[in-house]
Amino acid sequence: MSRPDQRKREGKISSDQIGAVNLEGTSPQVTAGQLAVSGGTSLSQEAETGSREFRREGHELDRAFSAVLARLTGGISPAALSMAYLDWACHLVAAPQRQIEIAHDAWRCARQLAERSLHFADPNRSPWDLIKPQANDHRFSKPQWATQPFNLFAQAFLLGEDWWHKATTGIRGVDPANEAVVDFSLRQLLDVFAPSNFAATNPEVLDKTIRSGGENLVFGWQNWLADLKQVLQPGKASSSAEFVVGKTVATAPGKIVLRNQLIELIQYAPTTEKVRPEPILIVPAWIMKYYILDLSPHNSLVRYLTDQGFTVFMISWRNPGAKDRDLAFDDYRSLGVMAALGMIGRIVPDTQVHAVGYCLGGTLLSITAAAMARDGDSRLKTITLFAAQTDFTEAGELTLFINESQVAFLEDVMWERGYLDTTQMSGAFQLLRSNDLIWSHVSRDYLLGERANPSDLMAWNADATRLPYRMHSEYLRKLFLNNDLAEGRYQVDGKPVSLSDIHTPMFVVGTLRDHVAPWKSTYKIHYEVDADVTFALASGGHNAGIVAPPGQPGHSHQVRSKAADAPYLGPDEWLSTSPRIEGSWWPTWIVWLAQQSAAPGAPPPLGTDSSTELGSAPGDYVHT
């Protein structure tokens, strides 16, 4: 991922820091709230920069061409990919000793494989004696893969994959971001040719084909046709009669107490006679439907919180369309978090709020909290972040293609439609775990003729959302590309915000196998804020690690608290020294929340007189 150049680090203005997005062809209006400037900048410099931005925004023909090209490349910028491979190839050509090492590795692998193939039937030779699959690679985990010749096929593939990894990494002079792009993209290409993806080289498929008389291939063909129909009908989520919003998922009772053009605010009904006086406001990400935190009753975080005596409010974001292309990132703060806090203040006056943010919602909450702290707004009692990043320098493989070329390419794609489509969103996340989410699906559904048992989490995952053009462009540029929030350049109401202004106690949850928000990235909050931080590292991934109700097997977590004035502890040392607790992290969080809350009392009213006609949960926006 490209990092800001030295001029940006010194606080000098660049065209990427202009928030104005002009779509009508008129002269751009540059305001203080649209500039990310630290240090002195003259008005003439601002005007010149604004003019450059306008010229970049006005190339409709170039944008249209890029949008057409994106359909052929899967949304990947050919220029960005080419520059990465050119960087790698040029440095490899200038490294003769490294070339010799790579050639020697290839000869060694070929010799070992040839020797092994001559004795593949030798019963004294153990399987996986050349190379073993990595711990997170489950493609060859079944016992059939230990038999010959399938074990030889798998080892040959793994040797080739390992050789290419060594050939594309460790070359002196290659930019680390370009190296990661080459390694990642080649791995995606190689995964296509894994022996597990073909019926003739997959012993599981051959075994089932023989036993079923080929019935699995018939079912696989039917599954493929059903999925093809789904692809040809974009925008229609696959329906499940078992998991229906408002009937079997998103069923916690409550009322809509606020509706504006961007959100519905849900207030959930109490389930205990007495509740803590401080309500909880949950800010989910708008790249997902809110009800991941209110799935089936047995794994609903909302129900768990209300059963523990808390009043819960939840934001439900409206799914934007083409007409919402000009919604800005700050609109989600003002029309979302701030509007919700305003309504909560009317229902529960003179009371501080426990604020919770999940994923991108946590990033937004952090920005909001920093701005409130700067302005002397003390309505937040505590802040809880679920798998949320505030520093994007180590944001995992999702950032591999976040550079100027790729962002500009993606902006052109969004410019045509006015939003980022659901298929592009889900496709990007699937690539991060392609073996688990793509190729295992191919093998199971099309070759074995099976379908995974439906679950509420799968049904929620299919209920995808869109992202408006301007918001996503600002998000990518200001946060991912320039890292403005962590480096003190992000502006709210024309003035920069600093996370160090936050003194509110925080509970931060990272997940161990998170491919979207790696836990070491979320851990950086320790040295960004001036507050007491309790950090919990949960087992599982970005979703399953958060939706971890008590009583389910396989959950564990580590937790440790750090006072604001305590010395910083690095993530590796934290991991090796923090106590591990078997079971869900939810009860640990409840204990922490109770310690930050006053004694229980009578529950507040459900909404206000003016909100009685807005309807009941889950509301209307969740269906958009």
Which amino acids are annotated catalytic? Answer: 359
At 8, list the tokens.
């940006």
CB distance 152 to 116 below 8 Å: yes
As a whole number of angstroms, the longest Cα–Cα distance in the chain is 82
CA gap 238, 243 in Å, rounded: 11
Give the number of residues written for the chain: 624
Residue 312 to residue 355: CA distance in whole angstroms:
10
Tokens of 242: 């078992």
Residues 611, 258: contact at Cβ < 8 Å? yes
Token pair 């329906």 is found at 239
Helices marked H in 320-468:
329-331, 339-347, 360-374, 404-417, 422-432, 434, 440-441, 456-462
- The answer to whether the beta carbons of residues 585 and 557 sit under 8 Å apart is yes
Residue 177 CA to residue 200 CA, distance in Å, equals 37
| Dihedrals phi, psi of 382, to nearest 5 degrees | -145, 165
Q: Which of 503, 565, 511 is nearest to 531 (CA)?
A: 503
**Helices marked H in 288-402:** 301-307, 329-331, 339-347, 360-374
To 10 degrees, the CA torsion angle through 512, 513, 514, 518? 60
540's tokens: 């599982």
In DSSP notation, 114-140 reads: HHHHHTTT-TTSPTTSS----TT--TT
